[in-house]
Structure 1
């Protein structure tokens, strides 16, 4: 088995079709089929289920595909590892979730390099759930996630206000901060369970406690959040301020009142055993970054 066989498999898995994958890889379909059959024989498991409607993954294929995400990330990191090694630098691989404040991360990175001039960060963007998999697969050293997972060690490093970006300006005279009662009668989009574990339950609970009847729409989204929201004709999207500024420019963003249930986004640093050698340096740098960013505004 060679790396190219795994690449072929990944393309087929993502396109769901051997014919489409062959065209993308500039191969004939019979040639690609033979390469995939060789990969299955080498590994000893069927990876693909071929039907008249296309190609799907077997349970073993799903496991391999998930594992390869970390493998290919590691391969992409090779030039960075070589540069660091040549300069006698150490590298910490760290995962970051969508919506993490850039100012906070910049302070964190600078603090790390000030604490140890031989230490550098390799950054990978991934959802909270994806980062747990990468961490357990030893593909990252430290993760930054929006929900505290039970299977790994963790420390709370950042808390920022949660709010809503509104597609239309709110009427004048309204408060500068939201309650969940303000969402009554609105169609509201929020992150799906796979991206922010537990958020759907928390949002529904908070709205119900406020007596608000909200037409919730839970979807995975990041860079195309506005496109999804506009296509679904939603009135508001539950996001942090950083995401609102980047992805919903021109929409009015307001934070939830601090005394509201589920009014904050908490970011946790996570790691697994054995403890990464430079973990202490990273955690101290995260604390410094949190102390440097301006105090979050929760409105009135």
Structure 2
């Protein structure tokens, strides 16, 4: 088995060799790469001695590649091109143009009028950054931020406690007002509504366990006006809530959106229900990647 060759050569040797091969003349190559011709001649001779092969045939008016030189040039070009791509790739990672972002994504985010459009625009602007949307509840998103499985979370401000804000950064994305969802034939569907009008209604409420602060805010608003909602069903998502409203199972509070939420459902404001939530983008303070920071900047 032949001995493994140890390469003491430096990157500059390859560039010098490449320049002479391109110009087929030591003098012109030296001018092109701006070094003295004797130094270039010496460096190429040293390279040939290290390799143990003659890379150039010396001619009266220049040089030309030997068969070994042509083979070496082909590999040298491939090495330097790959190195150039590696440098560009490293710079892209460092500036956030390449990488991946794990995004905790809940139904509230998908229904917000601006967020899906911003996600699409980021994909178009940064095609080398992979966005992975991970459907999960708000509380699971925050847990994911803290244990490192999620890079950014899109959550209501009520889910961000002082303890969370000690280790997380956040910025506001917008607000979401709370309105009442009713099936389209409900007697209140075409009337002005106040909370006292809802005393005898059957309510579909968001489940408390996955989002306790959201549940509590809505409940407190009702209690402040003298009634406790008659909850006939708790649901994990707004889409389930709206499906149950559509078939007449009850009414429920949901976030205000720009369009029709579901066929058979109407959204109405409740005049004395002053409840709204701020939607935030949250990420870890410690070691955010350049791709994450670029995503935060694009979404904020």
**Which TM-score applies when normalising by structure 1?**
0.55
C-alpha distance in 2, partners of 1:172/1:191? 21
SS of alignment partner, residue 252 of structure 2: strand
Aligned pair count reads 195
Q: 1:195 to 1:256 in 2, by over 3 A?
A: farther
Native 8 Å contact 1:188 1:217 kept in 2: yes
Query: Structure 1 stretches of 5 or more lacking a match?
Result: 1-84, 288-300
Alignment of 1:1-300 (within 5 A): 89-100=98-109, 101=111, 103-113=113-123, 116-146=126-156, 147-150=158-161, 151=164, 152-153=167-168, 154-167=170-183, 168-171=185-188, 174-175=191-192, 178-217=193-232, 219-222=234-237, 223-226=239-242, 234-242=249-257, 245-246=260-261, 248-257=262-271, 260-262=273-275, 264-277=276-289, 278-287=291-300
SS of alignment partner, residue 207 of structure 1: helix
Q: 1:227 to 1:106 in 2, by over 3 A?
A: closer
C-alpha distance in 2, partners of 1:123/1:230? 28
Q: 1:243 to 1:139 in 2, by over 3 A?
A: farther
Higher mean alpha-carbon deviation, 274-283 vs 120-129, is at 274-283
C-alpha distance in 2, partners of 1:105/1:207? 30
Question: Could you give the per-residue CA deviations for residues 182-229 of structure 1, whole angstroms, max 9, x where no partner exists?
Answer: 322212112122332312221222112222342135623225435656
- Deviation, structure 1 residue 266: 2.6
SS of alignment partner, residue 110 of structure 1: helix
Native 8 Å contact 1:95 1:123 kept in 2: yes
RMSD: 3.2
Native 8 Å contact 1:112 1:281 kept in 2: no
C-alpha distance in 1, partners of 2:172/2:149? 22
Larger radius of gyration: 2
C-alpha distance in 1, partners of 2:171/2:154? 10
Corresponding residue of 1:4: none
- Deviation, structure 1 residue 236: 0.3
**Which TM-score applies when normalising by structure 2?**
0.55
- Deviation, structure 1 residue 166: 0.9
- Deviation, structure 1 residue 134: 1.8
Question: Could you give the per-residue CA deviations for residues 133-152 of structure 1, whole angstroms, max 9, x where no partner exists?
Answer: 22222111001112332224
Q: 1:126 to 1:199 in 2, by over 3 A?
A: same
Query: Structure 2 stretches of 5 or more lacking a match?
Result: 1-92
- Deviation, structure 1 residue 181: 2.7
Native 8 Å contact 1:191 1:220 kept in 2: yes
Native 8 Å contact 2:207 2:235 kept in 1: yes
